[in-house]
Amino acid sequence: MTAPSFPTFASLNGAPRLTGTPRLLVTSVILTLVAIGGTFLLDPYRNYQLAVIAAYFCATAGLTMLVGLTGQLSLGHAALMAAGGYGYALTANASTDAGVDGVARFLVSLVGAVVVAGLAGLLLGLAAARLRGPYLAGLTLAVVIALPAVTSVFSGVFRGDQGLQIAYDGVPPFLRTLIAVEQWQAWVAILVTSVTVTVLAGLRRGRAGLRMRAVHGDETAARLSGVPAGRVKVFAFTMSSISAGVGGALLCFVTQSVSPGAYTLAFSLLLLVAVVIGGLGSIGGAALGAVVVVLLPWLIGTATAALELPADVEQRLSGNVSVLVFGLLLIVVTAVWPGGIAGALGRRMPRARDQVAAGTPVAPADAPPPAVPVTTSTSSVSHSIPTETER
């Protein structure tokens, strides 16, 4: 991709060092190394959570690009994650039968996940490009609701509610004395996520991102300027779906299984809540959102356990409190910081606006807002929510 000629933050400050794509790559590598180094500080359960966060981050990063940049609202990203998970599991089981294992099996299966999720996203995207607002939301909603039915109707392939199990990938022998399996899984998840998100961030700050913003800002004006709106939307949906699929594949790799129960409608909506809380359109916000989605229920569970409530009260609270807290958080965040947590952090540290990902493990830098007269990444947040609901 050709590097766009946006005035970047570095050049604005008169420091003509790294700009554009090289800078993105360097930041991405640094954050990845920091995150991998961080795994040494964590116990196995925290590393497991970190791996899950990384997997969710793939999905939220793709979703935030789709919703924040092109304004296409998807309620079905859980189903696209599931597509990736099943693609991974089916390819992994086929490879195991064919005698392939280890790194080769992982890579082949990851390709399988990308292909399946990409195809699913392409098909959905083709339909999605012709739909707007509630109709698009309805279509994606139908997909995620249909998932359990699809897996049980074709239970010969998908094994119904029980889902698919895959063979276990242990720590490679030369690392076995150094790290535990959870840490290894966290490494793999961080690396794969880092590559995926860097690609998305590159798209976002490049010509593709500009076109997406143009289509979102005013589709007719974009067409008049020669931007093929339909193609841009389908492309965004497909990329977003692939990224969700990679997330699903990582979850399958970490837990050695995939089942429809992991990808419910509630989870799908939670992904959307995550990107809104984090800050629509912002990659750093997507990372924050993924952290919140994984850690909040766990923190609440730990807190309620510490309160030593009666067993029946605890049982009633279990699972329900976190849904309530997510709802409250969503209301508070949209009311107080319409730009999400990332937007709030960005205002507080204007110089580090493109580093809002800092609090999270694997976020490469965001591009600064482009100096073009379309909605910018941060301001589009406050616009896109009302626009979506008004339509």
Partner 1 sequence: MSQHRAPTTRAAAVVAASALLLTVSACSTPGVAADTPGVTDDTVTIGSHQPLTGPAAAGYSSISAATSAYFDYVNDNGGINGRSIEYLVKDDGYNPATTQTVVRELVQEDEVFAILNGLGTPTHTSVLDYLNQNGVPDLFVASGSTSWNQPEEYPMTFALNADYVVEGAALARYAADEHPDAVVCLLGQDDDFGAEFIEGAETVLGADGLAAVERYSVSNQDVTAQIGAMKAAGCEINLLATVNGFTALAVGTAAKLGWFPQWISSSSGGDYPTLVGFLGEDLAPQLLQGFTSTNYLPFGPDDEWSKLFREINDEYNAGAPFDGNTVYGMSVGYLFAEALAKAGESPTRESLLAAISSGELEGNGILPLAFGEDEHAAYTGVGITTVDQGVQDFIGVTYALEGESVEEVEAKPVPLAGDGIPKP
Applying CB under 8 A, the residues found at the interface with partner 1 are 10, 13, 15, 17, 27, 30-31, 34-35, 38-48, 148-149, 151-152, 155, 159-163, 165, 168, 170, 176-183, 255-257, 259-262, 311, 315, 318-319, 349, 351-352, 354-355, 357-361, 365
CA distance 13 to 8: 9
Q: Which amino acid is at 100?
A: V
C-beta closer to partner 1: residue 35 or 120:
35
Residue 81: exposure state from Cβ atoms within 10 A (0-12, 13-18, ≥19): buried
C-beta closer to partner 1: residue 270 or 374:
270
C-beta closer to partner 1: residue 184 or 237:
184
**Which H or E run contains 331?**
helix 320-336
Smallest gap, in angstroms, from Cβ of residue 123 to partner 1? 24
Tokens of 136: 């698009």
DSSP class per residue in 55-73: HHHHHHHHHHIIIIII---
Helices of type H across 207-264: 207-217, 219-224, 229-255
Smallest gap, in angstroms, from Cβ of residue 4 to partner 1? 20
Smallest gap, in angstroms, from Cβ of residue 183 to partner 1? 4
Smallest gap, in angstroms, from Cβ of residue 170 to partner 1? 8
Smallest gap, in angstroms, from Cβ of residue 32 to partner 1? 11
Q: Which amino acid is at 234?
A: V
DSSP letter (8 states) at residue 100: -
CB 294 within 8 A of CB 49: yes
Q: Assign residue 29 a region: left if phi > 0, alpha if psi is -120 to 50, beta otherwise?
A: alpha
Smallest gap, in angstroms, from Cβ of residue 50 to partner 1? 8
Q: Which amino acid is at 351?
A: R
Smallest gap, in angstroms, from Cβ of residue 366 to partner 1? 11
C-beta closer to partner 1: residue 45 or 135:
45
Smallest gap, in angstroms, from Cβ of residue 171 to partner 1? 9
C-beta closer to partner 1: residue 174 or 351:
351
Q: What is the CA radius of gyration of the chain?
A: 20
CB 189 within 8 A of CB 183: no
C-beta closer to partner 1: residue 66 or 356:
356
Nearest CA to 4 out of 159, 157, 212 is that of: 212
Smallest gap, in angstroms, from Cβ of residue 271 to partner 1? 14
3-class DSSP state of 105: helix
Smallest gap, in angstroms, from Cβ of residue 159 to partner 1? 7
C-beta closer to partner 1: residue 363 or 374:
363
Nearest CA to 190 out of 297, 47, 87, 295 is that of: 47
C-beta closer to partner 1: residue 51 or 66:
51
CB 75 within 8 A of CB 272: yes
C-beta closer to partner 1: residue 149 or 309:
149
CA distance 126 to 142: 16
CA distance 297 to 282: 23
C-alpha torsion angle, residues 333, 238, 124, 110 (rounded to 10): -100
Smallest gap, in angstroms, from Cβ of residue 224 to partner 1? 38
C-beta closer to partner 1: residue 268 or 355:
355
C-beta closer to partner 1: residue 36 or 126:
36
CA distance 305 to 314: 8
**Phi and psi at residue 350, to the nearest 5°:** -60, -35
